[in-house]
A = this chain, B = another copy of it.
């Protein structure tokens, strides 16, 4: 692997390799000495054009647990304020010879573009509404750990599917693994081409219709500040129609588990008790994110660097 740009790029074998590597790294975070020397002396740059507690820190910790050195760049407080373009920022940082650049931007396709401009391994940590591949990988890893075999399982992804890179990456990844994916959300927040994400992906307009027999319920974050009044009537109305409550969860399988990429809006897309309940794996997702990101960084940046620009096609 040279980069992790999108789920769409991955072969089944790549997916299995990442998950297997994550399994090997998982126990590192439980040790007293939470480090392995796998990337000692390597440099990982976190280049974040959007604020993010969980993703930035997850990558930073993952890199440090591999003994890499980490340098963080937030878009504010940098030349970006002076109007430097993404390309020039990347070319400059790339001239510092990092081994990997972890990139989050509001622009769909940015990770792929950046991978053409520099020799470092590029790891997409979210590019606009396009993809968030490590989130999908950690979700699959979490499912495997919790549910076991997921072939043939039925997963229900609910919320603002239209704007969600998490939904998109998960639909692609779960579809590739033969999982039945049911996308569901308000008409205004559903993409037209939902079905196009894979042969096992279906779109539903009513929550109750989607949920029957679901093994997993994955709730998406609703951007209340941005959507209320524009795309949804109100957060209260949204919570009533598309929020996960004990009543709606009862329609799924009795042992169905609850996932959410975080940060959660308690009382909007998910009831507080369910978020904290025993069927919730939300915090396991966070913990597993470290192992999966360690695996991705190791597989992308741990080999002998070749300083060759590798295309993603």
Interface positions of A (Cβ within 8 A of B): 29-35, 40-43, 51-54, 57-58, 60-61, 64, 69, 71, 73-74, 76-85, 88-89, 91-97, 99, 224-225, 262-266, 283-284, 286-287, 290, 304-305
Closest 7 CB pairs of A and B: A33-B41, A95-B286, A53-B78, A53-B79, A84-B263, A95-B283, A35-B41
Tell me the dominant secondary structure on chain A's binding face.
mixed
Q: B residues within 8 A CB of A266?
A: 85, 88
Q: Which residues of B contact A31 (CB under 8 A)?
A: 41
Q: Are A57 and B305 in contact (CB under 8 A)?
A: no
With CB as the reference atom, state the residue of chain B lying closest to A81: B51
Q: Kindly provide the distance from the CB of A40 to the nearest chain B CB, expressed in whole angstroms.
A: 6
A305 & B53 in contact (Cβ 8 Å cutoff): no
Question: In the complex the two chains form, is B53's CB within 8 Å of A93's CB?
Answer: yes
Closest Cβ neighbor of A33 among chain B residues: B41
Query: What CA separation (Å) do A88 and B263 show in the bound complex?
Result: 8
Q: Could you list 15 further interchain pairs (A-B, Cβ under 8 angstroms) beyond the known A32-B304, A43-B64? A: A30-B97, A31-B41, A33-B41, A53-B73, A53-B78, A53-B80, A53-B89, A53-B92, A79-B262, A85-B266, A88-B264, A88-B266, A92-B283, A95-B286, A97-B290
Tell whether A263 pairs with B92 under 8 Å between CB atoms, given A64-B43, A77-B74, A78-B52: yes
Q: Quick one: copies of this chain in the complex? A: 3
Question: In the bound complex, how far is the Cα of B290 from the Cα of A52, in angstroms?
Answer: 28
Complex Cα distance, B29 from A305, in Å, reads: 12
Q: A88-B263, A96-B287 are in contact. Are A60 and B53 (CB under 8 A)?
A: no
Write the nearest CB–CB distance from A235 to chain B, whole angstroms: 11
Measured between beta carbons, the chain B residues less than 8 angstroms from A74 are: 77
Min CB gap A94→B, angstroms = 8
Alpha-carbon separation in the docked complex, A47 to B36 (Å): 25
Nearest Cβ in chain B — how far from A261, in angstroms?
11
A30 to B60, CA, bound (A): 23
A32, A34, A43, A92 pick with most chain B CB within 10 angstroms:
A92
